[in-house]
Amino acid sequence: MYKSFLIKYAEIGVKGKNRYLFEDRLCDQIRYALTRCEGKFDVVKSQGRIFVNACADFDYDEAVENLKTVFGITGICPVVHVEDEGFEKLCQDVIGYIDQAYSDKNFTFKVDARRARKNYPKNSMEINCDIGEVLLDAFPDMRVDVHKPDVMLHIEIREKIYIYSIVIPGPGGLPVGTNGKGMLLLSGGIDSPVAGYMISKRGVKLDAVYFNAPPYTSERATQKVIDLARIVAKYSGPIHLHIINFTDIQLYIYDQCPHDELTIIMRRYMMRIAEELAGKNGCLGLITGESIGQVASQTMQSLMATNDVCTMPVYRPLIGFDKQEIVEISEKLHTYETSIQPYEDCCTIFVAKHPVTKPNLNVIRIHERNLDEKIDELVRTALETDEVIEIVYR
């Protein structure tokens, strides 16, 4: 029945002079998401509207599924286009539309006509009333409710006439690419993929970095991170995933520094390396899955100690979330099942029984001096052996 979708977008509608940039970006992202579907589509901007028109046969569910991954879309409306061949014909078209779209006609409705073309012989109020009457006659089970209708039937009179009543919610947010790029510190855990999703939803393109520690962490742990990145890439678009071998740095810290400070010092080196990679790759900030108080390394004191080494902004979209709230998002994203696979991460090896929960920044800085002899070289080597994988969701 449907060959076209009307795309609704909210926030990008209010960007003033830049509006067309956002719309163009949204069209690009829609085109990209639809490359994953069978069939060919035209994505067109027309009079402040975006339409996705199928050029040939397509799979409706597959198209909707993929459109639901495009940030910036608030509603996906399957729409029927009809030619203007007089009001009688329009009434027949609307009856045909309702008949096909709703097998059960026991619902309340309201007609919402918009006459963008002012030379149409009836005004909006007249169209609302007349179509309403025609539908009541055709389908005795339908009832009018102008306040809270089950079905809002939209009829837009433009060059052609558009009929739609179904609005499938989109993910909201802003089109990826309208807000620069960020470097996501992606571990195999529950939190960081959610953090990446949330920042990407604000229009930010993502790169990612994963620190592994072979042979203490397995191939499977790295694969898990690749799998998670692929799920995030469904929404964010392609991600360059940097894999950094952290083993020697970690062993060196373990040798030279107090064990209860290991995690904090390790996190400081992760941030330093991530920032270096971010700068080299045109990223404007770091993104982590930290949340206040979740673990010893995420108390306010620990976050201060970690943040101390960064000059770039660090975005922590989960900072005020409870674990359960994060889990709920990860379940919706379908990263959860992958995140809970039991492969060891470099944060969990050599970990102290009683890590400091209130690290003193000055003490940490002093203990880090124990690393002066070799750390610069180890960091350089880690950066030089950076392995980059292009992650694309297909």
Interacting span for ligand ATP (CB under 6 A) from 149-157, 160-168, 180-188, 385-393: 180-188
Our finding on whether 187 is near Mg ion (CB under 5 A) is: yes
Interacting span for ligand ATP (CB under 6 A) from 114-122, 132-140, 182-190, 372-380: 182-190
Please name which of 70, 312, 283 lies closest in space to residue 179, comparing C-alpha atoms: 283
Site for ligand ATP, residues 290 to 309, rule: CB under 6 A: 290, 294-295, 297-298
Spatial contact of 236 and 197, defined as CB atoms under 8 Å apart: yes
Residue 72 CB, nearest approach to ligand ATP (Å): 25
Which residue in the block uniquely carries the two structure tokens 């309340």?
108
Interacting span for Mg ion (CB under 5 A) from 82-90, 186-194, 216-224, 229-237: 186-194
Residue 261 CB, nearest approach to ligand ATP (Å): 14
Residue 210 CB, nearest approach to ligand ATP (Å): 5
CA–CA separation, 299 and 320 (whole Å): 12
Residue nearest to ligand ATP (CB): 189
HSE-CB at 211 with a 13 A cutoff on CA atoms is 25
Spatial contact of 323 and 290, defined as CB atoms under 8 Å apart: no
CA–CA separation, 146 and 149 (whole Å): 6
Spatial contact of 256 and 249, defined as CB atoms under 8 Å apart: no
CA–CA separation, 159 and 108 (whole Å): 29
**How far are the Cα atoms of 71, 289, 314, 385, 386 from residue 237, in angstroms, in the given order?**
10, 19, 21, 25, 21
Interacting span for Mg ion (CB under 5 A) from 21-29, 80-88, 181-189, 295-303: 181-189
Residue 211 CB, nearest approach to Mg ion (Å): 10
Residue 291 CB, nearest approach to Mg ion (Å): 11
- Nearer Cβ to ligand ATP, position 80 or 186? 186
Whether a cis peptide bond, with omega within 30° of 0, leads into 193 is no
Residue 230 CB, nearest approach to Mg ion (Å): 18
Q: Contact with ligand ATP (CB under 6 A): which of 79, 111, 174, 185?
A: 185
Q: Contact with ligand ATP (CB under 6 A): which of 155, 345, 359, 382?
A: 345
Spacing of C-alpha 159 from chain mean position: 35
Spatial contact of 321 and 292, defined as CB atoms under 8 Å apart: no
Residues of the shown chain interacting with ligand ATP in the complex, contacts defined by CB under 6 A: 185-187, 189-192, 209-211, 270, 288-290, 294-295, 297-298, 345-347
